[in-house]
Structure 1
């Protein structure tokens, strides 16, 4: 690792196979936490290359616990995190809204590294017990339309680096990797990114998968559609700019999306949204994200039709019913 660090400090890059080897060694415990922290920090000072990202991704996928939900053709809705906005769990809520609208979802998530509450935090707050058992995951997606895959249970490397990520509390290349290493490798993805450079990187990778995808970015730096600014949506058909107003929503203040200071705060907002008692800003942000996920599944639908489906899922109580059934099944 010492030689690799010296090379990286001199602004050199890793080849695809080198990157794969480093991450494999990391998972096998061959590096100290200090070495891992130094390695991770390099990527705060420069961008990750396509070869490095592919190598890291291949290592994680080769080591993953196998699970197969392909017959359900589910979607994953995820943000890279690391946008420094500490929002409530918008992507995870969108998953339940999409499931409430009748679509299958396989959510890959983890504890928050750069925010108060990651997807796994809010699941844990609701009493969910994580599993990597294929039969239990299949039962969950069949009976509730949603399966939750807690990342460290499917990959040793993610578990190994978790203490370092938590201690650093800054964005790392693991934020970039997370959306690419869902162990079931879904053919449908909606991904939020924190800058447009990252959007182009994912666009290049998703094009190679042949699946359906939407990459979203709010121009004021959110890794989701925040309704606080104009936003861009990139699909395999091209890219398009939207304003909140063009979709019938009011532009909102950034403070309206704050997730609070504790996981309990974020969990309360989560419940408020699904109980249809949240603020209009919180509710509409979830609805618009869920709508674009629905359009990723059904590109032939207009975004207005998708917004109606998402709104109906929340206001009819369908999304809340899914959550209650999901928690009962997975506790």
Structure 2
């Protein structure tokens, strides 16, 4: 670690193999806290390269508790977090619209760190019991199209660095790794990021990993499509900027997407969307994210067709029925 730190302080980069070996050492407790803090600070100051990120990911996945859902060819819908917008659980809500439309979703999530309510908060408030059992997760995705993977149950190596991350109180390299370490290795991913440099980093990374993906960013700094401004979408097939009006959506005000001051308030908005009782702004925001997730899996379809599929899932009540079935299976 001492030699690696000297190189990093000298603005050198690591190979994929070096990054993997270093992260493996960190997660096995072979480095002291001061060294780990210094290591994390380097990457906050100079950014991480694609090969380094893939190497770090490889080490974390090597120590995961694996789950095999490959037969279902699932998608994960996730935001990086840290955009400071405190929205309600847009990505998690979109998962049930996508599952309600007949696709398979394997959502990897955790408690909120920078917002009032993370995916695990809203799940827990509905009585969901988290599990890492293959049979339970398989039953869930088989019977309702949705499985939820609570990150701490699958990534025991992260416990080593948890106290350091908490003490540092800033976003670190591990926030970037979170969306890349879904233990079931989903075939598809819709990934929301808060800025354009992250967008380029993840796009290049996901292309190397061979995953079907779309990376999205609202140009006013949301880590999802918020419809509050123009938004950019990058996939392995195209790169474009959309205006909400071009896709038949109205511009949304930022305050209309606020998730409230408690997890309970965020969960209420989540329920309202699936029950068809939310505001137009809240509903449209979830629909547009679900639509781009569907297009990741159905690249031959236009985004307008995907919007129609998502809207039908919600308006027919299938998304709500999917959520009810999910709760029943995971309580």
TM-score, with structure 2 as normaliser? 0.93
Quickly say closer, same or farther: Cα 1:22–1:112, change in 2 above 3 A: farther
Does residue 243 of the first structure (1) align with residue 216 of the second (2)?
A: no
Q: State the partner residue of 1:48.
A: 48
Quickly say closer, same or farther: Cα 1:146–1:264, change in 2 above 3 A: same
Does residue 285 of the first structure (1) align with residue 285 of the second (2)?
A: yes
> SS at the partner of 1:83?
coil
Contact 1:189/1:296 (CA < 8 Å) preserved in 2?
A: yes
Does residue 148 of the first structure (1) align with residue 148 of the second (2)?
A: yes
Quickly say closer, same or farther: Cα 1:330–1:164, change in 2 above 3 A: farther
* Cα displacement (A) at 1:275: 1.5
Quickly say closer, same or farther: Cα 1:2–1:120, change in 2 above 3 A: farther
Q: State the partner residue of 1:225.
A: 225
* Cα displacement (A) at 1:220: 0.9
* Cα displacement (A) at 1:72: 0.6
Quickly say closer, same or farther: Cα 1:301–1:231, change in 2 above 3 A: same
| Partner Cα separation in structure 1 for residue 141 and residue 277 of structure 2 | 27
* Cα displacement (A) at 1:270: 1.2
| Partner Cα separation in structure 2 for residue 9 and residue 127 of structure 1 | 47
Give 5+ residue unaligned stretches, structure 2: none
Q: State the partner residue of 2:204.
A: 204
Quickly say closer, same or farther: Cα 1:166–1:253, change in 2 above 3 A: farther
Quickly say closer, same or farther: Cα 1:34–1:312, change in 2 above 3 A: farther
Q: State the partner residue of 2:294.
A: 294
Residues paired across the two proteins, number: 331
Quickly say closer, same or farther: Cα 1:159–1:134, change in 2 above 3 A: same
> SS at the partner of 2:304?
helix
> SS at the partner of 1:215?
strand
Q: State the partner residue of 1:315.
A: 315
Does residue 128 of the first structure (1) align with residue 128 of the second (2)?
A: yes
Contact 1:82/1:170 (CA < 8 Å) preserved in 2?
A: no
> SS at the partner of 1:156?
coil
| Partner Cα separation in structure 2 for residue 54 and residue 164 of structure 1 | 22
* Cα displacement (A) at 1:38: 4.1
Contact 2:295/2:301 (CA < 8 Å) preserved in 1?
A: yes
Equivalent runs, 1:20-31 vs 2, <5 Å: 20-31=20-31
Q: State the partner residue of 2:325.
A: 325
TM-score, with structure 1 as normaliser? 0.93
Deviates more, 1:99-108 or 1:6-15: 6-15
Contact 2:108/2:182 (CA < 8 Å) preserved in 1?
A: yes
Quickly say closer, same or farther: Cα 1:166–1:114, change in 2 above 3 A: farther
| Partner Cα separation in structure 1 for residue 327 and residue 168 of structure 2 | 31
Deviates more, 1:167-176 or 1:124-133: 167-176
Give 5+ residue unaligned stretches, structure 1: none
Q: State the partner residue of 1:139.
A: 139
